[in-house]
Amino acid sequence: MEIFPIKIPKKSAGFDLFRTILESKFTFEQDDILVISSKFVSMSEGSLVDLKTVKVSRKAKNLASKFKMDERIAQLTLQESQHIVSGIPGFLLTISNGMIAPNAGIDKSNSLPGKVIVYPKDSFRSAKLLRKKLYDKLQIRTGVVISDSRLMPTRIGCTGIAIGVSGFEPVEDLRGRKDLFGKKLRVTFKATADCLATLGVFAMGEANESVPIVVVRGADVNKTDRRLSMKDMAVEPGIDIYLRNLSSDYMQ
């Protein structure tokens, strides 16, 4: 397997993502998988919010006071998430589109002063459209992963998570296969898309590397043209092995 980081000059909001990829002059091959930063996709789609325009509700003010955070960020977090699990000073722990994340993935880094980046409106649709454009223009079949970096419970530092996928099955069911000692696997699934997202995040870096796109070549995936969604990758909070053991007064 090979990994190719693609360096891209700094962009302003609302640029053409597909044209930007073509302008990189990278030579794509059949079955390449593009891992693209969710923030880069959001920037291309104009998914930025000017904090001056945010109207703060009473609930957001209460949360901001309790967890010592910007009221506007608390408001956006409420708008962008389905559940508020809990919080610590500066952050609300949320579930947004089937993913657990601080402040619903809202990011103040790599954005203009006074503005924040939110997730793309529909990451799976964005991935599918980009994959289609690549095929229509280059006649090359690819997979696409829209990735974000994420803290893991009890661990230091960021890893990767897929928030949008197209072109291959994001999860592989390994139940029924045998381990090295011949025992059948009973509950094991491989998070293929998340693993590829982590490869991408590792190559992208977390600072000013300007590598928002990484091409993974030679990955063993199960190809598909079916329309995917977060339902193919996420479990409900009530049956999640971690969350079902937690309780919070703020669970929505």
* 99-102 vs 115-117, strand pairing mode: unpaired
- pLDDT beyond 50 at 251: no
Chain-wide mean pLDDT for the chain? 89
Nearest CA to 18 out of 129, 163, 170, 161 is that of: 129
Burial class (CB in 10 A: 0-12, 13-18, 19+), 102: middle
If DSSP codes are grouped into helix, strand and coil, which group holds residue 251? coil
Lowest-confidence region among 49-53, 72-76, 103-107, 233-237: 233-237
- Angle CA 116–117–123, to nearest 5: 160
Please state, in angstroms and rounded to a whole number, the distance separating the CA atoms of residues 119 and 39.
7
Residue 90 amino acid letter: G
**pLDDT at residue 149 greater than cutoff 60:** yes
For residue 96, how far is the Cα from the chain centroid? 11
pLDDT confidence tier of residue 185, bands split at 50, 70 and 90: confident
Lowest average pLDDT, out of 25-34, 158-167, 181-190, 224-233, goes to 181-190
pLDDT of residue 80: 92
pLDDT at 247: 52
Return the amino acid letter for 21: I
CB 250 within 8 A of CB 87: yes
Residue 252: is its pLDDT beyond 50?
A: no
Whole-number Å distance between alpha carbons of 9 and 12: 10
pLDDT for residue 250 is more than 50: no
d(CA 81, CA 98): 9
Domains and CATH numbers, the chain: 1-47+119-221 (3.30.1330.100), 48-118+241-252 (3.90.1660.10)
Q: What is the pLDDT of residues 159-176, one digit of tens each?
A: 999 999 999 999 998 888
Percent of the chain surpassing pLDDT 90: 64
